[in-house]
């Protein structure tokens, strides 16, 4: 049994409503901002600890003893929209990316279809993970890294609400640097890449390694531990090597996607198998260590979650009907999608508690689900672009369901660790998800229409590009390049071996991180590594809390993303997005490069100084409050 003293002082009904409203606003803003960052970097950062920090900073002095239950509910509600953002960005751009790959007219983002698909996925994922909550939370041996981080933050905030992290020297500089860098890049005032290093490779010219100045890459890297960043960077070098080899030997440019997808599948299957083995060894005795009263779902709440799944199922049929599906397609694809959503939601929740919500391989599990749906669709006669157009919204709903479960399991674990009843927080989760479902499609529409287009060099959407390649092979070309798939599977096995060797030596070298890195160009991997190095240099000899560094890194991502969103909205309103620059001005000239290098150094210095900050609450709880806020394949 957990011996921690139970917390009293639950929120009143009015306080709960106010907290959920505040969380809904946070959910909407964060989800819209993260759309652009995720579409650009292919990685979605975990935000629950960030939501707790914002709540502490904004309301710590006002709430006093009520701060603990407030933060517990806020982190559940405020992070929900970002789960929807990841689910949509990983899958919805498949249509635009595939049209770009095939040389077809690129269609606009269908906001109404995406809203319905997101709502369907939110209801299904929320229902399935809620019904299985007791099973997920009865194993105290699962590490649940984000949940532990949030619990420690909430502890520290409740013990010393006045000792908040220094916002003006951490969050604000991060926001400003993110804003300036993105604005300068968008307005063509500064180069996005400073020079390039050429590494030996199989093709002519080797592997190009540009040095990026993007705040979003640096910020995501600064939320990662160095081993994880090194694995992502290693994957991006493999990307460069495969691309170089493909170019030299006349292979398709998307060869690296097959390599990365096969490596991801191996890593996902290994993670699932290892979890099953560890769970069997742990046995049912683990449940004896858990206070079951905190995680028990009352019968009336179970009925609501069953109703939620029913609403999602009806919505899925409506969605497919809108897209012109026949009765047979509605029945077969709808049933298979619902079964997959149930299975993959459970798998996502389990993997999330095992490796963390941010490192959980959502794209890998979604890829396996997409393969099953694709084969089902082909089996009943769907083909060509029409078949893909019908299938993609179903895949979006499935991925949103997986991401919702992925996020919810960590949030509910935080509630359990904080000694509150999980069932009291379920309503906050669905509110956060639905707010994201309504806001994310509009942000994606703006990104596509005004910021270069989905699948472009500006917004590459790595996961959607890979999925599009696979769907084109199945529905258009009827061919799978088994050579690159075999190479990727071999690399996946090698990554698993590295992970297991590292585990025995006490280092977390995630095979999933390497597989994700193979989707990413070398400049993204390099930016992530630079951010992680800045964090590592600052924290390798200190053990106290590093919340100012977390705020700086999050500020870089948020400042970049919100600036991109504002610029997109401005262009939608009629602004050309250009400035009247002096004749002959070019980012290839010396001065823009010097300014870009100065801003890059300033950004890394700001991250380093804030992670090395000597801020420390007076309570000894600060010694337990340091946490790793991992970013990954959310």
Tokens matching residue 157:
């905030």
Mean pLDDT of the chain: 82
In a domain, 199, yes or no: yes
Contact yes or no for 260/239 (Cβ under 8 A) = yes
Mean pLDDT of 97-115: 91
In a domain, 2, yes or no: no
Q: Is the dihedral of CA 201, 204, 205, 210 positive or negative?
A: negative
Mean pLDDT of 279-307: 73
Q: What is the pLDDT of residues 380-402, one digit of tens each?
A: 988 888 899 999 999 999 999 99
Q: Does 158 score more than 50 pLDDT?
A: yes
Q: CA–CA distance from 150 to each of 254, 412, 451, 540, 627 (Å)?
A: 39, 11, 34, 22, 8
In a domain, 76, yes or no: yes
Mean pLDDT of 295-311: 93
In a domain, 632, yes or no: no
In a domain, 547, yes or no: yes
Instruction: Report the pLDDT value the prediction gives residue 626, as an integer from 0 to 100.
Output: 41
Q: How many residues does the chain have?
A: 634
Pairing of strands 193-199, 207-212: antiparallel
Instruction: Report the pLDDT value the prediction gives residue 127, as an integer from 0 to 100.
Output: 94
Instruction: Report the pLDDT value the prediction gives residue 12, as an integer from 0 to 100.
Output: 86
Per-residue pLDDT band at 10 (split at 50, 70, 90): confident
In a domain, 5, yes or no: no
Instruction: Report the pLDDT value the prediction gives residue 534, as an integer from 0 to 100.
Output: 92
Least confident of 83-92, 132-141, 278-287, 399-408: 278-287
d(CA 427, CA 300): 13
Structural domain harbouring 488: 13-289+297-617
Tokens matching residue 284:
């049912």
Q: How many domains does the chain have?
A: 1
Tokens matching residue 611:
């992670």
In a domain, 91, yes or no: yes
**Which span out of 170-184, 455-469, 549-563 was modeled with the highest average pLDDT?**
170-184
Q: What is the pLDDT of residues 564-603, one digit of tens each?
A: 878 877 776 766 656 666 666 666 667 788 888 899 999 9
Find the farthest-apart pair of alpha carbons in the chain and give their distance in angstroms, rounded.
Answer: 74
In the chain, % of residues over pLDDT 70:
84
Instruction: Report the pLDDT value the prediction gives residue 620, as an integer from 0 to 100.
Output: 40
In a domain, 628, yes or no: no
Instruction: Please list the helix, strand and coil fractions of the chain in percent, rounded to the nearest 5, in that order.
Output: 70, 5, 25
| Global confidence as pTM | 0.84
Instruction: Report the pLDDT value the prediction gives residue 337, as an integer from 0 to 100.
Output: 93
Q: Which residue has the higher pLDDT, 313 or 466?
A: 313
d(CA 611, CA 535): 6
Instruction: Report the pLDDT value the prediction gives residue 577, as an integer from 0 to 100.
Output: 59
Least confident of 60-64, 191-195, 263-267, 350-354: 350-354
Q: What is the pLDDT of residues 247-285, one digit of tens each?
A: 877 787 778 888 888 888 888 788 767 656 655 444 444
d(CA 280, CA 234): 33
């Amino acid at each position: 049994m957990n011996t921690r003293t139970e917390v009293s002082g639950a929120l009143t009904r009015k306080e709960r409503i106010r907290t959920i409203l505040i969380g809904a606003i946070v959910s909407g803003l964060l989800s819209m901002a993260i759309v652009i960052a995720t579409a650009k970097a292919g990685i979605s950062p975990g935000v629950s600890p960030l939501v707790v920090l914002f709540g502490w900073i904004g309301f710590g002095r006002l709430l006093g003893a009520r701060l603990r239950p407030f933060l517990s509910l806020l982190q559940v509600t405020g992070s929900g929209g970002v789960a929807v953002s990841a689910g949509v960005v990983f899958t919805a751009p498949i249509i635009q990316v595939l049209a770009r790959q095939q040389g077809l007219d690129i269609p606009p983002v269908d906001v109404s279809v995406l809203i319905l698909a997101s709502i369907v996925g939110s209801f299904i994922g929320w229902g399935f993970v809620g019904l299985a909550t007791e099973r997920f939370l009865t194993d105290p041996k699962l590490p649940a890294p984000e949940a532990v981080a949030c619990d420690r933050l909430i502890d520290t905030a409740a013990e010393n609400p006045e000792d908040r992290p220094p916002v003006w020297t951490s969050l604000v500089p991060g926001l400003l640097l993110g804003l300036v860098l993105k604005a300068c890049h968008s307005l063509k005032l500064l180069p996005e890449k400073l020079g390039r290093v050429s590494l030996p490779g199989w093709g002519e010219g080797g592997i190009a390694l540009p040095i990026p100045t993007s705040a979003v890459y640096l910020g995501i890297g600064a939320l990662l531990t160095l081993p994880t960043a090194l694995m992502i960077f290693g994957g991006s070098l493999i990307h460069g090597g495969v691309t170089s080899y493909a170019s030299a030997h006349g292979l398709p440019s998307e060869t690296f996607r097959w390599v990365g997808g096969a490596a991801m599948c191996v890593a996902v299957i290994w993670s699932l198998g290892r979890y099953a083995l560890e769970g069997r060894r742990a046995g049912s005795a683990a449940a004896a260590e858990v206070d079951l009263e905190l995680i028990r779902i009352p019968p009336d709440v179970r009925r609501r979650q069953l109703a939620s799944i029913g609403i999602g199922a009806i919505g899925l049929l409506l969605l497919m009907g809108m897209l012109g599906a026949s009765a047979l397609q509605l029945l077969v694809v709808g049933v298979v999608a619902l079964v997959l959503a149930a299975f993959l939601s459970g798998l996502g929740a389990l993997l999330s508690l095992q490796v963390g919500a941010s490192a959980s391989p959502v794209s890998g599990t979604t890829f396996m689900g997409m393969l099953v749906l694709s084969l089902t669709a082909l089996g009943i006669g769907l083909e060509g672009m029409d078949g893909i157009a019908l299938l993609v919204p179903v895949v979006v709903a499935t991925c949103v369901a997986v991401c919702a479960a992925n996020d919810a399991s960590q949030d509910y674990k935080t509630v359990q660790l904080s000694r509150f009843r999980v069932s009291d927080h379920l309503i906050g989760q669905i509110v956060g998800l639905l707010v994201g479902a309504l806001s994310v499609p509009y942000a994606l529409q703006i990104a596509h229409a005004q910021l270069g287009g989905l699948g472009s060099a500006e917004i590459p959407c790595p996961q959607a590009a890979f999925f599009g390649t696979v769907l084109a092979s199945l529905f258009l070309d009827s061919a799978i390049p088994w050579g690159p798939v075999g190479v990727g599977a071999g690399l996946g096995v090698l990554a698993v071996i590295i992970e297991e060797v590292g585990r025995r030596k006490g280092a977390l070298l995630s095979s999933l991180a390497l597989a994700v890195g193979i989707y990413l160009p070398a400049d993204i991997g390099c930016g992530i590594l630079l951010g992680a190095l800045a964090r590592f240099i600052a924290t390798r000899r200190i053990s106290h809390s590093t919340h100012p560094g977390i705020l700086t890194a999050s500020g870089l991502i948020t400042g970049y993303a919100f600036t991109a969103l504002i610029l997109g909205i401005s262009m939608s309103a009629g602004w050309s997005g250009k400035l009247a620059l002096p004749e002959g001005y070019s980012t290839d000239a010396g001065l823009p490069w010097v300014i870009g290098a100065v801003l890059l150094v300033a950004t890394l210095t700001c991250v380093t100084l804030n992670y090395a900050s000597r801020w420390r609450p007076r309570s000894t709880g600060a010694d337990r409050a340091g946490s790793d806020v991992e970013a990954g394949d959310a």
